[in-house]
């Protein structure tokens, strides 16, 4: 049975072509997987599970629930864009929520899953922001505001984030090798799969005499061409498969 991994789709009403790629994937290849792991940033942003009137969100919940109903187990781990996605939406979409990091096995090998943003420890300003917005009390007071006010606030944060990023060196927005080593050491060698950086690649890390692999998932793009990607575990191997 195959195991699939995707992340960083950044779905939004402005980029309908990407929703199309996901819909075709869910109607076809996803059904060959025993498990599909969505490792964060499925949505461009998520303002709260009460944003269900949004046609994109409700249609997607239906499509996901159909795949779950057809026998593929669906897992969702939060990204830095959609960490407010909660149990209400998960139940409608047939998603099982995962905490971060999660350890699974692929074949015999322990494999750690995370979104990836927590590994970008050189990005000190982001990590400060992250600790604040991941705080349950902060989230509760945010979710208590009207949906429209939340969306407006998020638009402001997105602008500030883009401004901040334009002044950051590319290197600080990538994972830190010591943070990778510490994660593998604490939770289990020898394989890590994550997204977030939009720098799809396979990296090798030597950690405490263990040869470790770090698979970075691809983001999905609609520019210059429309393209998604799924990382597929099949027959003892991981391969990247393009989606269009
Ligand atoms: O998302 P991406 O990849 O473009 O950039 C990220 C980091 N930025 C973010 C912010 C998100 O893009 C926007 C969040 C959307 C949904 C969340 C809604 C919830 C709001 C409140 C909930 C309780 O994650 C970016 C990294 C980059 O990845 C690479 O790793 O660099 O980080 C920043 O740019 C952050 C800035 O450095 C500092 C913060 C600026 C925003 C200040 C807003 C003030 C509001 C205070 C709230 C705590
Ligand atoms: Mn991300």
Tell me 71's DSSP state.
T
Alpha carbon distance 101, 93 (integer Å): 22
* Ligand 1 atom with least separation from CA of 135: 23
Q: Which CATH class is domain 2-243?
A: alpha beta
Provide the 10 A C-beta neighbour count for residue 203: 14
pTM: 0.98
Averaged pLDDT, 208-227: 97
**Distance linking the first and last C-alpha atoms of the chain:** 23
CA of 152 from ligand 1 middle (Å) equals 14
Distance CA 66, CA 36 (A): 13
- Give CA–CA dist 150/2, Å, rounded: 39
What lies within 8 Å, CB to CB, of 9 at 6+ separation is: 18, 22, 41, 42, 43, 219, 220, 228
Mind listing the pLDDT tens digit for each residue in 224-233?
A: 999 999 999 9
Residue 49 pLDDT class (50, 70, 90 cuts): very high
* Residues 129-175 pLDDT 10s: 999 999 999 999 999 999 999 999 999 999 999 999 999 999 999 99
Q: How confident is the model at residue 217 (pLDDT cuts 50, 70, 90)?
A: very high
What is the arithmetic mean of pLDDT over 72-92?
Answer: 98
Structure confidence at residue 212 (pLDDT): 98
Percentage with pLDDT > 70 across the chain: 100
When pLDDT is cut at 50, 70 and 90, the band that residue 237 belongs to is very high
pLDDT value, residue 189: 96
Residues with Cβ < 8 Å from 74, sequence gap 6 or more? 35, 36, 38, 64, 67, 68, 93, 94, 95, 96
| pLDDT value of position 162 | 98
Question: If you search the block for the tokens 């109903």, which residue do you land on?
Answer: 69
pLDDT value of position 33: 98
CA of 157 to the centre of ligand 1 (A): 6
Return the structure tokens found at 25. 């994937």
Q: What is the pLDDT of residue 82?
A: 98
Put residue 221 in one of left, alpha, beta given phi > 0 → left and psi -120 to 50 → alpha. beta
Exposed, middle or buried by CB within 10 Å (0-12, 13-18, 19+), for 131? Answer: exposed
Query: How many C-beta atoms surround the C-beta of residue 151 within 10 A?
Result: 16
CA of 99 to the centre of ligand 1 (A): 20
The arithmetic mean of pLDDT across residues 92-103, rounded, is 98
Q: Which atom of ligand 1 is nearest to the CA of 123?
A: 31
Task: Put the strands of the sheet holding 191-194 in their side by side order.
Answer: 102-106, 109-114, 191-194, 210-216, 201-207
Reference 193, options 40, 13, 21; nearest CA is: 40
Residue 78's pLDDT band (boundaries 50, 70, 90)? Answer: very high
pLDDT given for residue 146 in this prediction: 98
Alpha helices in the chain (DSSP H): 16-27, 55-69, 87-93, 124-133, 136-143, 147-166, 177-187
Structure tokens that stand for 92 in this block: 């409608």
The residue with tokens 């691809």 is 218
Residue nearest to atom 24 of ligand 1 (CA): 80
Which pLDDT does position 2 carry in this prediction?
98
Output the residue whose Cα is nearest ligand 1's atom 45: 157
Q: What is the pLDDT of residue 151?
A: 98
Ligand 1 midpoint to CA 45 (Å): 10
Q: How far is the CA of 164 from the centre of ligand 2 (A)?
A: 15
| Residue list, CB under 5 A from ion ligand 2 | 41, 79-80, 196
Ligand 1 pocket (Cβ < 6 Å) reads 45, 80-81, 84, 117, 120, 123, 125-126, 129, 132-133, 138-139, 142, 154, 157-158, 160-161, 164-165, 168, 173
User: Which residue has better confidence, 53 or 58?
Assistant: 58
> What pLDDT does 208 receive?
96
């Amino acid at each position: 049975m195959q195991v699939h991994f995707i992340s960083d789709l950044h779905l939004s009403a402005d980029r309908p072509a990407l929703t199309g790629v996901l819909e075709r994937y869910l109607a076809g290849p996803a059904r060959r997987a025993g498990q599909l792991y969505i490792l964060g940033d499925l949505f461009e942003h998520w303002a709260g599970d009460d944003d269900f009137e949004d046609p994109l969100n409700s249609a997607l919940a239906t499509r996901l629930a159909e795949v779950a109903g057809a026998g593929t187990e669906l897992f969702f781990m939060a990204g830095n864009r959609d960490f407010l996605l909660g149990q209400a939406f998960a139940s409608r979409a047939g998603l099982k929520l995962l905490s971060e990091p999660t350890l699974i096995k692929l074949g015999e090998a322990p494999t750690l899953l995370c979104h990836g943003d927590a590994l970008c420890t050189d990005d000190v300003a982001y990590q400060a922001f992250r600790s604040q917005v991941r705080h349950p009390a902060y989230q509760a007071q945010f979710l208590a505001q009207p949906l429209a006010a939340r969306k407006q606030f998020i638009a402001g944060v997105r602008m500030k984030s883009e401004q901040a990023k334009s002044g950051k060196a590319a290197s600080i927005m990538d994972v830190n090798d010591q943070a990778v080593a510490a994660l593998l050491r604490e939770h289990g060698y020898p394989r890590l799969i994550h997204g977030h950086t939009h720098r799809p690649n396979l990296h090798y890390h030597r950690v405490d005499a263990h040869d470790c692999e770090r698979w970075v998932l691809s983001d999905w793009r609609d520019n210059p061409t429309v393209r998604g990607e799924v990382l597929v575990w099949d027959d003892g191997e991981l391969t990247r498969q393009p989606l269009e």
